[in-house]
Structure 1
């Protein structure tokens, strides 16, 4: 049984983190149906998630702070 923990350089961790965060960026995948509330620091929107195959899920309420 291998009990050694793998080690990574700072550059490897930075690249892995950047790749992971990029995969979470889905702002372009949401279609805003309407803004429910907006202020100088937040917005609450009614959105639909648009899939790559043309499908749509929703509606969802999205709060952006």
Structure 2
């Protein structure tokens, strides 16, 4: 989690704010999942997919 935290901060330095905000939302989902677990009956992929895709979409727009 420490490495992800550092990577998320590097994204803030290197990319526009919307990319960082999306990365942070994804990081917080990952962090919560690691420390608190998943909601009952949910898969890791289903739980993390929305913010992961949002991050990838905004990152693609930023570099495209």
Q: What TM-score do the two structures reach when normalised by structure 1? A: 0.31
Looking at both structures, which has the greater relative contact order when contacts are Cα pairs under 8 Å and sequence separation is at least 6?
Answer: 2
Higher strand share: 1
TM-score after normalising by structure 2: 0.31
Greater C-alpha radius of gyration:
1
